Amino acid sequence: MENFKSQYVWGVLRLLLGWTFLWAFVDKLFGLGFNTVADKSWLDGVSPTFGFLKFGTKGPFASLYQSLAGNPVVDWLFMMGLLLIGLSLILGIGVKVASYSGILLMAMMYTAASIWPEHNPFLDDHIINAVILLGLALSDSGQYLGLGGWWGQTRLVQKYKFLR
């Protein structure tokens, strides 16, 4: 019974984190007024990465990230990353690839702005989310409250297990 409960906790964590990624994509795409104001959306032609990369970066990697600000390739990679990681986690398909991709994104965001977080000498939400993503990758969380069972039976995933 305990294993059953923990499996569903991982399923719920997967859904919640998936929504976090998907919501960031939707807000930046449409400028819904939460983190992205209406006239600063990607659909309005505003770079979704420029403000953060140009003005929100600090620490030893700041100049690297600032040099990427507003680059259309970076914008597309960032937005597609948010969309695909979010959808994958919500649907429970390709959770391993999405989780490892999400860990990479969290690591880049941590090194861009938070190596020495403002409110804690080490820990911030990027690290916490990366650890949750690792747990999702290792727990078969797509099997619970998602389409992972069906996805795992497809020929593609049977042939390429890393897509699970």
Average pLDDT over residues 1-16: 87
What is the C-alpha separation between 24 and 52, in angstroms, rounded?
13
For the chain, domain boundaries: 2-163
The count of other CB atoms within 10 Å of the CB of residue 74 is 18
Question: Coil, strand, or helix at residue 49?
Answer: coil
pLDDT over 90 (residue 90): yes
What is the C-alpha separation between 117 and 151, in angstroms, rounded?
39
What is the pLDDT, as a whole number, of residue 54?
94
What pLDDT digit, counting tens, does each position of 91-138 carry? 999 999 999 999 999 999 999 986 777 778 778 899 999 999 999 999
**What contacts 126, CB < 8 A, 6 or more positions away?**
106, 107, 109, 110, 114
What is the C-alpha separation between 94 and 25, in angstroms, rounded?
18
Tokens of 158: 């049977």
What is the C-alpha separation between 18 and 130, in angstroms, rounded?
13
What is the pLDDT, as a whole number, of residue 2?
62
Query: Residues of 90-115 as b/e, b for ≥16 C-beta within 10 angstroms?
Result: bbbbbbbbbbbbbbebbebbbbbbbe
What is the pLDDT, as a whole number, of residue 91?
97
Give the predicted TM-score (pTM) of the model.
0.93
Tokens of 19: 């929504």
